[in-house]
Each structure stands twice: as C-alpha cells, then as structure tokens.
Structure 1
Amino acid sequence: MRSTRATYAIERLNARSPELRYSMLRTAEELFILAQNAGDAMPIRVSEPLELDAFVKFVNAYGPQIPKRISKLDVAFEKQLQKREK
C-alpha cells in the first residue's frame, strides 16, 4: 500500500501533539492532504494536495518537534572535533 509511509507520518505527528488530532485525506489524483480534526465539524485542511514524498516531508516538519537525544559520548566527541578544528 503506497500510503503506509503517509499513515506512519500522521501517527508520529499525533504522538508529538496530543492536544490536536490530525488525519490524512486522499484525492482521486493520488495526492495527500493533511487535515486537522475539528470534532463534529468538517476537518480543517492544513496543507495543499501533495505527492507522497512531499506530504511525508511536510508532515514530519509540521507541529512540535521532539528534541534529538544526545548522549555524554556524543558531547565528548563534539568537544574533540572542536579542538581539532582550532
């Protein structure tokens, strides 16, 4: 199924923003639209119709982002790289 990547992108967006719920609309031309659920009212369209790759990229960048986890080893490695550059 082509829309599996898009579905997982929506699930990740819903996990990042628990106060709002998002869904995906699919057009007859095989384009995808991000929509915000508005309860009993019609969904609010957040994006224009996009191709699959563009849609997944848009959804991944939309909404709150989870900060990258950085370990102590990563920090130490960055310090070593900065010392070498000087």
Structure 2
Amino acid sequence: MAGARSTRASAAVERLKKRSGNNGYSMARTGDGLFFLAERPGAPPLCPALELDEFVAFVDGLGPQVEKRVGKHDLAFEKQLKKKP
C-alpha cells in the first residue's frame, strides 16, 4: 500500500514539473508517512507535511493549469442544459 501512495504523490509532482517546466521540484516523505514538496532537493519545503490526498490537491493546484478540452458534443450538451427550465 505504501508504494501506491508514493506513486500517486510522485505522479502529481511529475504533472507539476510538466505544467511548470521546472524539473527541480522534489517530493519527500516523512517517517510518519506524510509528504512535502520543495523546489529542489534540500530546499525548504513549500508546504507543511501533508496527508496524501491533501498533498496531491496542493501539488495539483500549483503552477499553470491545463485547460480542459471541450468537444462539440460537450458544448451541445451544456447548451441543452441551459435551455431546460
């Protein structure tokens, strides 16, 4: 289970690296299983030590955000929803 937790957290950091273009971001895990992020290994943490879900949410909120692709079917569906009373 611990491996899956680390994988999920490191995947969030990899997404941040890709979005931001900063490959220096580094994740660390405390002895009690909490996670924190730094701009590079050995740098001060950018957040307090967080539980997995909080850490992933924090990391996903950093840096430029990827715009969701919206297809023509999605737009048509939204238009229909707005027409209904």
TM normalised by structure 2 equals 0.85
Partner of 2:10: 7
Provide the aligned length of Structure 1 versus Structure 2: 82
Structure number with higher helix proportion: 2
Alpha-carbon separation, structure 1, partners of 2:22 and 2:54:
25
Deviation at 1:34, TM superposition (A): 0.8
In structure 2, the gaps of 5 or more residues are none
The aligned amino acid for 1:15 is: K
Q: Cα RMSD over matched residues?
A: 1.6
Structure number with higher strand proportion: 1
Partner of 1:43: 43
Cα deviation digits, residues 6-25 of structure 1 (max 9, x gap): 01010011011004631101
Partner of 1:23: 26
